[in-house]
Amino acid sequence: MSLLQPDNEIGMILQTLFSFAFVIYLFYAQRIQAMTMLRQIETTLRKIKGLKEKGKNTAIETIKEIGKPERDPTPQVERFMEHFLIPPVDMDPAGVVGKLGKVLNVREFTFEKEVAILAPNATPSERNNIENLLEASLALNMFYKIIRHFYLMGKKTMNIYIIMQIHMILPQILQQIEAYSAALQAFKEGIPIGDSVGAIVAAKLMNGSEIREIAKDMVAAEIEFEGRRVLVTKAMGPGGNVGKPGDAITKLLDENKGKVTMLITVDAAGKLEGEEVGEIAEGVGAAIGGPGVEKYKIEKAATEHDVPMYAVAIKQGMEHVVAPLVEPLFDATDKAVASVKGLILDYSKEGDTVVVAGIGNTVGVAQ
C-alpha cells in the first residue's frame, strides 16, 4: 500500500492544479481572450504601418522622379494623406445626388491642383497616375489610423466588444490593404489594374477608330457592327482616370435622341467565394460602382430617353480591383467583348444605334 501513496499524491496535486487553472480561466477567460486578440491586432497593425509608410515613400519618390519639383514634396504629401471628404446632409434626400456631385467635383479639382503643384513637369497622363498613387496612399493611411484607433481603445478599456469589432473583420480589411499596396506599383508604372477591364473592353471595341472627347476626361468612337451603329465610350487614357461616364452617356443619348435602342455598360464586379476570377455575367441595369452620382446620371438619362439598360460584369475579388491586372482578367476581356456583341445581336436589329460604355479606371489603357 505504501508503494501506491506517491501516485495518489501526484494525482491529487494534478487535480488541484487543474481545478485551480479552471477557476482562473473561469474568471479571466474573457480577459485572456482579449489579450490574445490584441496581440494579433498589434502584429497586423505593425504590418499595415509598414505598408502605409511604403505608400508614402513611393508617392514621394515618384513625384521627385517624374514631376521634378523645386522643393521637397514630403510635407505636401503628408498633408494630402490627411485629406477628408464630408458628405452632404441626407435627412431630406431631395437633391442629395446633386449636392454629392458638387462635393466630389470640388474634391477632384482640389486633387488636380495639388498634383499640378507637386509635379509641375509631369505630363497630363503622369499627373493622373500620381493622383491615383496619392489616393492609394491616402487610403492606406486611413486604414492604418482606423485600425490603430480600435486597437488603442481596446487596449485602454480592455473591452472585448471593442476589440472584437476590428478583430473579426481584420482578414477582410487586410485583403483590401494588400490590394492598395499592390496598386502602388501599378499607378507608379502606369500599368492596368483589375478595375481597368471595362476600359479594356471598350478599347478593344474601338480598335483604333477615330475618337473624340465627349465629356470631361471621356472619349467616344463610332464603329459599325453587323449593320448596327455602335457608339463606344470610355475614360481618356492612358493615365489613371475614371472620367465622367454619366455625362458621356447623357450626351450620347441627347445627340441621338430617339435613335438609341439599347445601352450596355461593362464593368468589374465583386465575385463570391467559389466563383472563378474572370467569370462573365450578363444582366440588366447600370453596371457602375462608386458613390452613385454617375450611376444616377446614367439611369436618369436612360429613363428620359426610354432606353433599356443591359450590363456585362467581369468577376474579380477585392484583392484584384486595384492590384495590377492578372492574366485571367485580361483573358476575360475577350469573353466580355463577345458577350457585348451577343447582346447587340440578340436585342437590336440592323440600322439600330447602340451605346456601349466601358466603366472603370483606364490606367495603362490607351484609346
* 242-264 confidence digits (pLDDT tens): 999 999 999 999 999 989 999 99
Is pLDDT of 2 > 60? no
The per-residue pLDDT for range 312-334, each reduced to its tens digit, is 999 998 889 988 999 999 999 99
Cα separation, 147 vs 118, in Å, equals 29
6 has pLDDT over 70: no
> What tens digit of pLDDT does each residue of 101-156 get?
999 999 999 999 999 999 999 999 999 999 999 999 999 999 999 999 999 999 99
266 near 358, Cβ under 8 Å? yes
In this predicted model, what pLDDT tens digit does every residue of 169-216 receive, in sequence order?
A: 999 899 889 989 988 988 988 899 999 999 999 999 999 899 999 999
pLDDT of residue 92: 86
Contact present, 218 and 243 (Cβ < 8 Å): yes
| Predicted pLDDT at 341 | 96
The answer to whether residue 54 scores a pLDDT higher than 60 is yes
Strands 309-316 and 211-215: unpaired
**Residue 42: is its pLDDT beyond 90?**
yes
In percent, the amount of the chain with pLDDT more than 70 equals: 96
* Residue 237's pLDDT band (cuts 50, 70, 90): confident
Q: Which bin fits 160, alpha (ψ -120 to 50), beta or left (φ > 0)?
A: alpha
Nearest to 78 by CA among 103, 114, 107: 114
Residues 6 or more apart whose Cβ sits within 8 Å of residue 218: 233, 234, 235, 236, 243, 244, 245, 247, 248
pLDDT in tens, 63-79: 999 988 888 999 999 99
Q: Which three cell numbers stand for residue 348?
A: 437590336
Residues above pLDDT 90, as percent of the chain: 73
Strand positions, DSSP E, the chain:
211-215, 218-225, 228-235, 260-270, 280-284, 309-316, 353-358
pLDDT at 278: 94
3-class DSSP state for residue 323?
coil
- Do the Cβ atoms of 239 and 190 come closer than 8 Å? yes
Residue 205 vs residues 172, 224, 273, 281: alpha-carbon distances, Å: 35, 10, 30, 18
Q: For the whole model, what pTM was predicted?
A: 0.87
Q: How far apart, in whole angstroms, are the C-alpha atoms of residue 131 and residue 116?
A: 9
281: Cα within 13 Å, side-chain hemisphere:
18
Domains along the sequence of the chain with CATH: 27-189 (no CATH), 194-358 (3.40.50.1470)
**Whole-number pLDDT of residue 12:** 77
